[in-house]
Amino acid sequence: MPSPYRAIFDAPGTRAFSLAGFFGRLPLAMMGIGIVTMISQLTGRYGLAGALSATVALSAAVIGPQISRLVDRHGQRRVLRPATLVALAAVAGLLVAAELELADWTLFVFAAGVGCVPSLGSMVRSRWVWVYQTDPRKLHTAYSFESVVDEICFIFGPIVSIGLSTAWFPEAGPLLAGLFLATGVFWLTAQHRTEPVPHPREHHTGGSALKSPGLQVLVLTFVATGTIFGAIDVVTVAFAEAEGHKAAASLVLAVYALGSCLAGVVFGLLHLKGSASRRWLLGVCAMAVSMIPLQLVGNLPFLAVALFVAGLSIAPTMVTTMALVEQHVPRAKLTEGMTWTSTGLAVGIALGSSASGWVIDAAGADAGYAVPAVAGAVAVAVAFLGYRRLSRPAPQRGEADEHAAHGGYDRAADERQGRAADPAPDPVA
């Protein structure tokens, strides 16, 4: 691992919370595609499969920011564990209902409950901010590292989920995703040393973080971006099945994530200057343009190459987005602000999964790739219309940041105190 990446793990506890976050985020890559594979295996109905995946995403979009708002106020441990137990119960109910071939409405009820899954990516990134809030260079590298972790999840998650559901039994992918979720959340919340100190209610003046004009632009653009991701997942599974190699869909999607992963590694090594908003706009445009070759795919190898190229623009855009969220959202609401971007993606994934499922049922897998192309064009339009909002200096953060500056993570003090700050031994750090 290059030295800038080694350096971010100098602070105690960073290895442990990042690894816990990896396990906790695997379900993000496994659950939706696992549900699509499971339902299509059991019923052959891609419309129903896409709609259920969309229900999970929409439910997470509604519930996720509320969970993160509670985390900002009460802390990760007190909020994440109960929310995760609700999500796990819903996953179990969904698998049983699918196996017993219960009425469709029962599947949708349980799918909505799965949306209680917390945004582990936001939780881990807020810990990085807590640790390196006074070191922008290390924070940029940490954001890049976490984007790489996201893509590693999307490389291996679909492979495992689709592979188990097709080779073992249909419910295997979502089942394993639930186990990973439990492992990641309970391990992460057992680590107290790097958990950001919650901000009491009086530091949450001004309402939701979404009132920030800059955050509104990011979220709306991410709705269109999420539509790209959701559509590509569903259409690729259907396209691979039409080609007679359904299990190969996991490998093709892994290549898509691999492109983003490699780009994220390189991006984290760069010491970039200039406007973050301009870099973000270029990234959104690149993602949209990369959807054009998908309209010409005729076989799986060509599709894999096209998706690899398309993936190169994802991680740099995501990293820049997190930096912009930090610039435009008060620190007392940072976890909520980061989760709103995930919510935008979730809404988009829901739209993309559902729309592409219906297009596939009506016109075939080849026609499904028109959905991400249209979504890319919408993302560019929203990004250009909102660019000025992102370019304007963010308002002063006031008391919330004063609180963070005087009560934030003190690495030197932590090292002096040793493990007294966390009675449980940290076997990884």
What pLDDT sits at residue 427?
33
Give domain status of residue 125, yes or no: yes
Read off the pTM: 0.71
Residue 207's pLDDT band, with cuts at 50, 70 and 90, is: low
pLDDT tens digit sequence for 97-151: 888 878 888 999 999 998 888 888 888 888 888 888 778 788 888 888 888 887 7
| CATH number, residue 91 | 1.20.1250.20
Give domain status of residue 3, yes or no: no
For the segment 38-67, the average pLDDT, to the nearest whole number, is 82
Radius of gyration of the chain (CA): 21
What pLDDT sits at residue 200?
62
At residue 39, what is the residue type?
A: I
Give domain status of residue 416, yes or no: no
Give domain status of residue 399, yes or no: no
Residue 381's pLDDT band, with cuts at 50, 70 and 90, is: very high
For the segment 209-225, the average pLDDT, to the nearest whole number, is 84
Domain that includes residue 168, residue range:
12-196+208-393
Q: Which of 347, 152, 134, 364 is nearest to 257 (CA)?
A: 152
231, 156 Cβ separation under 8 angstroms: no
Please report, for residues 89, 110, 385, the alpha-carbon distance to residue 103 in angstroms, rounded to integers and kept in the order given. 19, 12, 44
What pLDDT sits at residue 90?
92
Give domain status of residue 233, yes or no: yes
76, 195 Cβ separation under 8 angstroms: yes
Residue scoring higher pLDDT (335 or 387): 387
For the segment 171-199, the average pLDDT, to the nearest whole number, is 87
Give domain status of residue 222, yes or no: yes
pLDDT tens digit sequence for 54-91: 788 778 878 888 888 888 888 888 889 999 999 999 99
Average pLDDT, the chain: 80
Q: Is the pLDDT of residue 395 over 60?
A: no
Give domain status of residue 25, yes or no: yes
Number of domains in the chain: 1
For the segment 226-242, the average pLDDT, to the nearest whole number, is 86
The H or E element that residue 5 is part of is helix 3-7
